[in-house]
Structure 1
Amino acid sequence: MNKRLLGYLHIGYWVLVFMQVLMVALGTGVLGTHFDWHLFLSIVLPVKALQIACSALFFYVNYLLLVPYFLKRGNIVKYILSLLGCLFAFSPLYYLMEQIVYPLIGWKSYNLDLDFFFAFIVTLGANFLNIFLGLLLSYLMDWRNIRAEKEVAEKEQLKTELAFLKSQVNPHYLFNTINDIYSLTQQQSEEAPAALLKLSELLRYMLRESDDPYVPLINEIDYLNNVIDLQKIGQKGQSYINFKVVGKIDQQKIAPLILINFIENAFKHGVFKDSEAPIQILIAIDVQAFHLHIRNKVNTHKKDRTGGIGLVNVQRRLALIYPNRHTLLIDQQTDTFIVDLKIDLYD
């Protein structure tokens, strides 16, 4: 809530209080049985305006000064004493209004002379509700500010953590791909230019488009296609990967680089040179749901002591980006590794 809107709310509140006081005054018959515009404008309106002005002044002295400087600092005794002092300070104002100002405009609130003690009681009665409202509003605004600051801090922490997790995308694949393309150029292979172009597209996506919190799903799938194609090129045609996309890709969006760890994990720990047991990658899409299913044969001859970090990162990212909107099943059998991921693309 910005300061301008908050100011409008304060003004609106006192306007409503003023209207309510006027209606109460008219309802009690201060103008007699017949409405008199001259009497209303010359007496009732200025009298009630002065009363509301005094109430507003007392409210803001308590709300802006006494509560923040004494009560919120733990000085309860000082707050009570300062509140009593404020009531005593305002009592002469109410006394002057009742004894001098109001009679000048033909108004008399009480049928007896007002002494100072009675003026104090009138001041307390007129501002008792304002004391409570000042306390309530002050602590409500503190609660609102603390909540807003907490939300900002959580968002910043989330952004920082997501940025860190995205930066952990395994760079080994890129280094291996560069080495593969270098070998192709050394051999003057016709596949070298195409491989270099795919690597360029892959890097452009990682460094530029992936800065957005969500990207078009078609871009993420194109990125995976490039990754798979480069894997096949690097293995000189000895990489057996079945990549299939089922369903209509329309305007769906997905968090960038959220799938690559599963693909890299299949390449890193799976068997991709067995034509009888190729790596199976299936993506099924509908309007609101995304489904990724990966099945690969486990390469029992590969031992990677640093493995598993990528999957931990992507699980954390999924929990941050799609809380209660995804299911991830990882089934590691003796000779088969299965990943099954489902994401609700819309709230």
Structure 2
Amino acid sequence: MNKKWLFYLHFGYWLLILAQNLLEALGMGVLGTQIDWFLFFSIVLPVKFLQIGCLALFFYVNYLLLIPYILKKGNLIKYVLSVLGCILIFSPLYYLMEQIVYPLIGWKSYERDLDFSFAFIITLSANFVNIFLGLLLSYLMDWRTLRAEKELVEKEQLKTELAFLKSQVNPHYLFNTINDIYALTQQQSEEAPVALLKLSELLRYMLRESDDPYVLLSSEINYLDNVVALQKIGQKGHAHIKFEVSGIVGNQKIAPLILINFVENAFKHGVFISSKDPIQILIFVDRHDFNFHLKNKINTARKDKTGGIGLANVKRRLSLLYPYRHELIINQQNDYFIVDLKIELYD
């Protein structure tokens, strides 16, 4: 809550207190059966303004000075004594108002004459609720501030963790791609410039666009398309990969680099030398529903104990970015590794 709305809240509270007192004055028949509006505006209204002003003054002395600088420093006894001291200081003010100021404008709050002891009791009873409200508001604002700070810290920690997870995208694929392009240039292959251009687009996406928390789904799909194309170039036509996108891809957004771990895992641990048994990467988009299906035959001859790090990485990112908005199923059926991912996309 900004300072502007906080001011409106305080102002509105005291305005309501004033309205309540004025209505009580009308309801108690202070002005008689016939309302004398001249009497109301010339006497009742100024008296109530003075009374509410005294209440507000005591409230803010307690709220702005006594609570933060005494009570919250851990000295309860000193705070209680300070409140009693303020009541002693304000009691003469009530006494002077009742005995001198109010009579000048023809007002008398009490039937009996006001002595100092009675003025003390009146001051205490009039401000008892305000003491409690000051304590409640002060600690409520502290709680709100701590909560806001905690949320800010959690957001920063989340951003840091996501940045760290994103930075862990396996560089192994990039190194292999660079080596493949180098081999193509050595052979003076016509595919070398094409591969270099696709690698440039790949790096541009990873270094620039992926800084955003969410990117256009079309950009992420184009990134995967370049990854697949480079893999085919690197394998010199011996990589059989079925990459298909269906549905309507519009302005939907998705977390960047959220799918690459699955694809890299398939390239690293899969078999794709047969046109009859290619790696399948299928994407279907239905408005805000994103469906990703990957299937590859497992290369049983290649064992890699570090293979699970990338999958653990993407699982953690999904849980942070799409809590309750995604479903990930990873199965190993016979000789095949299958991934099915569903995400409810953001606008």
TM surpasses 0.5: yes
Q: Give the Å deviation of 1:333.
A: 4.1
1:220 aligns with 2:220: yes
Q: Give the Å deviation of 1:51.
A: 0.3
2:272 matched residue in structure 1? 272
Task: In structure 1, give the amino acid aligned to 2:174.
Answer: L
Which secondary structure state, in structure 2, belongs to the residue aligned with residue 250 of structure 1? coil
1:192 aligns with 2:176: no
Q: Identify which range, 300-309 or 199-208, moves more after superposition.
A: 300-309
Q: State the superposition RMSD in angstroms.
A: 1.3
Cα deviations by residue, 1:218-277 (Å, 9 ceiling, x for unpaired): 111010000000000000000011111121112211111100000000001111222232
1:93 aligns with 2:84: no
1:341 matched residue in structure 2? 341
> Is the Cα contact below 8 Å between 2:254 and 2:346 reproduced in 1?
no
Which secondary structure state, in structure 2, belongs to the residue aligned with residue 178 of structure 1? helix
Q: Give the Å deviation of 1:284.
A: 1.2
1:299 matched residue in structure 2? 299
Q: Give the Å deviation of 1:62.
A: 1.2
Which secondary structure state, in structure 1, belongs to the residue aligned with residue 200 of structure 2? helix
Distance 1:166 1:244 in 2: 25
> Is the Cα contact below 8 Å between 2:21 and 2:48 reproduced in 1?
yes
1:48 matched residue in structure 2? 48
Distance 1:27 1:155 in 2: 54
Task: In structure 1, give the amino acid aligned to 2:31.
Answer: L
Distance 1:284 1:30 in 2: 77
1:72 matched residue in structure 2? 72
Q: Give the Å deviation of 1:41.
A: 2.1
1:127 aligns with 2:127: yes
1:1-347 correspondence to structure 2 within 5 Å: 1-346=1-346
**Alignment gaps of 5+ in structure 2:** none
Task: In structure 1, give the amino acid aligned to 2:137.
Answer: L
Normalised by the size of structure 1, how large is the TM-score? 0.97
Distance 1:334 1:300 in 2: 11
Which secondary structure state, in structure 1, belongs to the residue aligned with residue 271 of structure 2? coil
Cα deviations by residue, 1:113-172 (Å, 9 ceiling, x for unpaired): 111110011101111111111111111111111111111111111111111111111111
Percent identical residues: 75
> Is the Cα contact below 8 Å between 2:271 and 2:296 reproduced in 1?
yes
Distance 1:159 1:196 in 2: 32
Which secondary structure state, in structure 2, belongs to the residue aligned with residue 177 of structure 1? helix
Cα deviations by residue, 1:177-213 (Å, 9 ceiling, x for unpaired): 1111111111111111111111111111111111111
Distance 1:65 1:334 in 2: 73
Task: In structure 2, give the amino acid aligned to 1:257.
Answer: L
Q: Give the Å deviation of 1:346.
A: 4.1
Cα deviations by residue, 1:91-115 (Å, 9 ceiling, x for unpaired): 1111111011111111111122111
Q: Give the Å deviation of 1:332.
A: 2.6
Aligned residues, how many?
347
Which secondary structure state, in structure 1, belongs to the residue aligned with residue 263 of structure 2? helix
**Alignment gaps of 5+ in structure 1:** none
Normalised by the size of structure 2, how large is the TM-score? 0.97
> Is the Cα contact below 8 Å between 2:220 and 2:256 reproduced in 1?
yes
Q: Identify which range, 130-139 or 46-55, moves more after superposition.
A: 130-139
